[in-house]
Amino acid sequence: MNPENSVFAIFHKEQQSEAPVELLADDGLSQLSRRRFIALSSLSVAAVAFASRLVFAQNKGIVPTMIDSAAKAKIETHPLRRNISVLEGSGGNIAVLTGKDGKLLIDSGFTVSKLRITEALNGLSSDPITQLINTHWHIDHTDGNAWVHSAGAAITAHVNTKKHLSTSTHVEGWQYTFPPASAGAIPKTVFDDGYAVHHNDTQIALKHYAPAHTDSDISVVFEEADVIHVGDTLWNGIYPFIDYSTGGSIDGMIRGTEHNLSTVTDKTIVIPGHGPIGNKASLAEFRDMLVTIRSNVAALKKQGKSLSETIAAKPTAAYDLKWGQFLITPSMFTGLVYSGV
Ligand SMILES: [Zn+2]
């Protein structure tokens, strides 16, 4: 593979421009695996410099950046409808259903936020946590599984969430390999297509998407309240990450968004994986952004442009001011789309 044409090469360039002096730091090199060190020693100087940027990105990449941000973030509570609230600030948005059967959580955020999430949960009610549902396997939605399980929650998720959490899983777009999760963090109840839960006088429908952001995405509908958590099939007002390593793709994201649009009404409250609480209009805006940028990038790629040339042509320009202000930069998002067209 030509490194110039990889999504994470772009990410590494951005990292390099932020902190060039650390690229060849001894502590980075000392963390190289022995195998990798041996491989590096046979490479050219330029290749070693590139590989060292990989090491830097592994040490200071997107995943540690997300954890650092969660460690500092306040947890904000947004009451939605009936007994449903959202906690925002630790990785993905956490939905909470309170009541006599105990709290049911959708996603568990990062472990570094345990204390502040616990405070926010206590602020909602004194019910214990009894159930946890994961929208997909990613760390920013499942890292807190172990402590939430220890606090009393049984965990439910799609069968592929269990699969990815149970083994070592590499995400190329993050240049990160996740070790298997601890036993308590792994969902015990899993399903393939759909699953129904009745909890706190609420009917809750879980439904698997065709591969979209990953191959483990599910939606969670609170039927009486007309509230849906769509996980990372929606990043409301921000460019999304797409995990090609575990089944995601730009076309899958578009199909997932079309599916979301077909299941909601103007009254439905839509909880995105990331970003502020949304509605049907947010889904339509997200779909239009995905479709337009996909078309722009596909046209450039069809002309034979490399990823660098495609990024230089700024196929996302009309959207950057609004959508490019979070974790996934315009050039990274261009790379993610380029990989799938
Ligand atoms: Zn995700």
**What pTM did the predictor assign?**
0.85
- Average pLDDT across the chain, whole number: 87
pLDDT at 62: 87
Residue 157 has pLDDT above 50, yes or no: yes
pLDDT, tens digit, 9 for 90 and up, residues 206-265: 999 999 999 999 999 999 999 999 999 999 999 999 999 999 999 999 999 999 999 999
pLDDT, tens digit, 9 for 90 and up, residues 163-203: 999 999 999 999 999 999 999 999 999 999 999 999 999 99
CA 240 – ligand 1 centroid, Å: 9
Note residues around ion ligand 1 (Cβ under 5 angstroms).
Answer: 138, 232
Q: Per-residue confidence at 60, pLDDT binned at 50, 70, 90?
A: low
Q: Per-residue confidence at 11, pLDDT binned at 50, 70, 90?
A: low
CA 140 – ligand 1 centroid, Å: 7
Which is higher by pLDDT, 259 or 64? Answer: 259
pLDDT at 194: 98
CA 259 – ligand 1 centroid, Å: 18
Q: Which of 57-66, 145-154, 324-333: highest mean pLDDT?
A: 145-154
Helices (H), 153-249: 159-166
Distance CA 77, CA 81 (A): 13
Distance CA 149, CA 246 (A): 25
CA distances from 276 to 72, 86, 225, 236 (A): 19, 10, 18, 6
Lowest mean pLDDT across 41-55, 67-81, 195-209:
41-55
Cβ neighbors of 37 (< 8 A, separation 6 or more) are 29
CA 26 – ligand 1 centroid, Å: 32
CA 190 – ligand 1 centroid, Å: 18
CA 163 – ligand 1 centroid, Å: 15
CA 72 – ligand 1 centroid, Å: 20
Look at residue 215 and give its three-state secondary structure.
coil
CA 233 – ligand 1 centroid, Å: 8
Residue 35 has pLDDT above 70, yes or no: no
CA 312 – ligand 1 centroid, Å: 27
pLDDT at 14: 52
CA 232 – ligand 1 centroid, Å: 5
CA 274 – ligand 1 centroid, Å: 9
Q: Per-residue confidence at 10, pLDDT binned at 50, 70, 90?
A: low
CA 42 – ligand 1 centroid, Å: 36
As given in the structure block, the two tokens for residue 160 are: 């592929």
Q: Where are the beta strands (DSSP E) in the chain?
A: 76-81, 84-88, 94-97, 103-106, 129-133, 154-158, 169-171, 176-178, 189-191, 194-199, 202-208, 218-222, 227-229, 269-271
CA 138 – ligand 1 centroid, Å: 5
Lowest mean pLDDT across 5-14, 67-76, 91-100, 137-146:
5-14
